[in-house]
Structure 1
Amino acid sequence: MNRIPLRILRRTLSTAPRPAATAASILDHALTKVPTHGWTTAAVAAAARDLDLSPAASGLAAQPIALVSHFLTQALSFTLHDADDQLHELATPHERLRLLCRIRLRQTLPLRDRWPEALALLAQPQNLPRATGHLMELASELCYAADVRAANLDWYAERSALAAAYLATELYLCEDRSPDSQLTWRFLDSRLDEIQGARALCSGASTYASQFSRNIYNIFASQGFK
């Protein structure tokens, strides 16, 4: 039996696509399939075919939630990068937070017709820990980038409030057809103003946190999670 020379085998193994790299390539391309196929295994499979790769080999065959998770990670990374050169021009944390939220929401805009499907996936009980993890990471990173100080409120309360405001605005965006999404930006401004008002009205951080945590639960419940 003919054997493959060891040097060729080593070179083949070293240049073969790694599963993580393969998965990332498929997911990147699969995002372009979402408008047609939605957040589904069909979108992942179509992307894999285009790239002549195997979704099964990369572990993505039955994980449409992986596509949603990939988008959330990529969108947050882009937001922080895109806002970096603009934040220093804004005088207050409130203004910086508004800019960051707008940039992030614009990542969802091209996919807004399909975004309720993504939220429905995230709201499934088995995916809820991942969903809340992404949401709290978003809130934490945006607060940090905006230099939001907790003042008399604890870290969790501040970020829970922003998470609820952001999620509510994202849902509003899905239905908004106003020019340049102007109604969405007004809605966002109102939610951020409410956070400022709640800071003044709520004397205890626990009260403040529980108020917005309930809002997060109610929003997910509206998407099918009970």
Structure 2
Amino acid sequence: MDQIKDRLLDAALLHVPFDGWSEAAFRAAMSDTGIEPQMARAACPRGAVDLAVAYHLRGDAEMVRRMHRTDLTDMRIRDKVGLAIRYRIEAAEDKELVRRGATLFALPQHAAEGSRLVWGTADRIWTLLGDTSEDVNWYTKRASLSAVYGSTVLYWLGDETPGEQATWEFLDRRIGNVMDFEKAKAQLRKNPLFKPFLAGPDFLARQIRPPHARPRHRMPGWLSPRTE
């Protein structure tokens, strides 16, 4: 099924710039590949929507491959994050394919899927960089990175500067904004005047665990039992 989906995706990429991630593009891909409709529907029950998802995941995989081939030893964490996002955007290659995907996942019936894909990209980046968060930070890191990635993609779609230089400068500013916010939070926590007010929220935040901590529960998070 994966091989069939890959063949359909490769064929559909020629039609998506004109037809979008639509039934027309899916049918054209079936025609181009000669894959029987029954097999194509088995591999992609939702048709072009499944191909759009596969296209996004293919970009994630390419980003991971490029990061593994890059020496990250002496790089700061912000530079590693910025490089990962840049690799991920460059993996898309054709802006029209991404633009059509953004249109698809902006539809109400597919909006949740689009958000899940962006969150998944942020999760792959943090996992790749060795994130070991076991509390609420697991969520905040991915939420912040999802926002940075999403806004940078939108900027990139309208960028006409040579080499997309304006996009990479925009990305650096967005990461800088997040780092400044994290520094401000750290300074706030060090201030003895605010410690009594942060004790309660900090305690609750430490009890929150990421989904992988309890895989038997398909929940977005959980509160650890109180220990004496």
TM-score normalised per structure 1: 0.73
SS in structure 2 of the partner of residue 69 of structure 1: helix
In 1, the alpha carbon distance for the partners of 2:64 and 2:5 equals 23
Runs of 4+ aligned structure 1 residues displaced above 6 Å come to 204-207
* Corresponding residue of 2:81: 97
| 1:30-49 paired onto structure 2 within 5 Å | 30-49=12-31
- 2:129 aligned with 1:139, yes or no? no
- List runs of 5+ in structure 1 lacking aligned partners: 1-18, 208-226
What are the Cα deviations for residues 36-57 of structure 1, in whole angstroms up to 9, with x where unaligned? Answer: 4332222222221121113453
Deviation at 1:58, TM superposition (A): 2.0
Pair 1:45–1:63, CA change in 2 (3 A): same
CA contact 1:143–1:159 (8 Å) conserved in 2: yes
CA contact 1:30–1:47 (8 Å) conserved in 2: yes
Pair 1:67–1:42, CA change in 2 (3 A): same
- 2:53 aligned with 1:72, yes or no? no
Deviates more, 1:194-203 or 1:146-155: 146-155
Of 162, 167, 191, 1:179 maps to 162
* Corresponding residue of 1:120: 103
| Corresponding letter in the other structure for 2:81 | L
Deviation at 1:78, TM superposition (A): 0.9
CA contact 1:34–1:114 (8 Å) conserved in 2: yes
Deviation at 1:138, TM superposition (A): 0.6
What are the Cα deviations for residues 153-188 of structure 1, in whole angstroms up to 9, with x where unaligned? Answer: 611001100000100000001100000000000001
Deviation at 1:119, TM superposition (A): 1.1
Of 112, 116, 124, 1:129 maps to 112
Of 107, 113, 138, 2:91 maps to 107
Deviation at 1:149, TM superposition (A): 6.1
CA contact 2:19–2:25 (8 Å) conserved in 1: yes
In 1, the alpha carbon distance for the partners of 2:181 and 2:37 equals 47
Of 163, 184, 191, 1:201 maps to 184
From the two aligned structures, give the one with the greater helix fraction: 1
| Corresponding letter in the other structure for 1:65 | V
| 1:54-65 paired onto structure 2 within 5 Å | 54-59=36-41, 60=44, 63-65=47-49
* Corresponding residue of 1:86: 70
Of 191, 197, 218, 2:174 maps to 191
| Corresponding letter in the other structure for 1:33 | H
Pair 1:55–1:161, CA change in 2 (3 A): farther
CA contact 2:105–2:113 (8 Å) conserved in 1: yes
CA contact 1:22–1:58 (8 Å) conserved in 2: yes
Q: Alpha carbon RMSD of aligned pairs, Å?
A: 2.6
Pair 1:104–1:55, CA change in 2 (3 A): farther
Q: Percent identity?
A: 22
Instruction: Name which structure has the greater RCO, CA cutoff 8 Å, separation 6+.
Output: 1
Q: How many residues align?
A: 188
Pair 1:137–1:81, CA change in 2 (3 A): same
